[in-house]
Amino acid sequence: QVQLVESGGGLVQAGGSLKLSCAASGRSFGSYNMAWFRQTPGKEREFLAVITWRGGNTYYADSVKGRFTISRDNAKNTVSLQMNSLNSEDTAVYYCAAENRLTYVPSSPSDYEYWGQGTQVTVSS
């Protein structure tokens, strides 16, 4: 079992940057694929980025590619999301997620077993 707690959300002006962090507790953090999603009211949870447990490979949604960077520190049991060039469309609740059962790179919310409680990011124009 893994418990996830996000932090770092807040209010930022358009064009600005923000870094989200997700602290994980539980065993074997290094064996989990870790991802970030976001959700706005009335919409489905949107995949943003994943970093694999094997090799630390990263994959991004087209909407954030080149602006967001996912990273992990297995020694500290944390995964981060550096977000640059933010715009109003990035306003959402951001979630980190973990899974360790799949053999392919997971990008659907249904792929993930563990979720944090979410952190609000608001971008003002």
77 within 8 A of 4, measured Cβ to Cβ = no
Provide the pLDDT for residue 63: 95
The whole-chain average pLDDT of the chain stands at 95
In sequence order, what DSSP letters do the residues of 18-56 get, joined into one string? EEEEEEEEES-GGGSEEEEEEE-TTS--EEEEEE-TTTT
121 within 8 A of 92, measured Cβ to Cβ = yes
- Residue 104, phi then psi, degrees to nearest 5: -115, 170
Condensed to tens digits (0 to 9), the pLDDT of residues 4-24 reads 999 999 999 999 999 999 999
Condensed to tens digits (0 to 9), the pLDDT of residues 46-73 reads 999 999 987 789 999 999 999 999 999 9
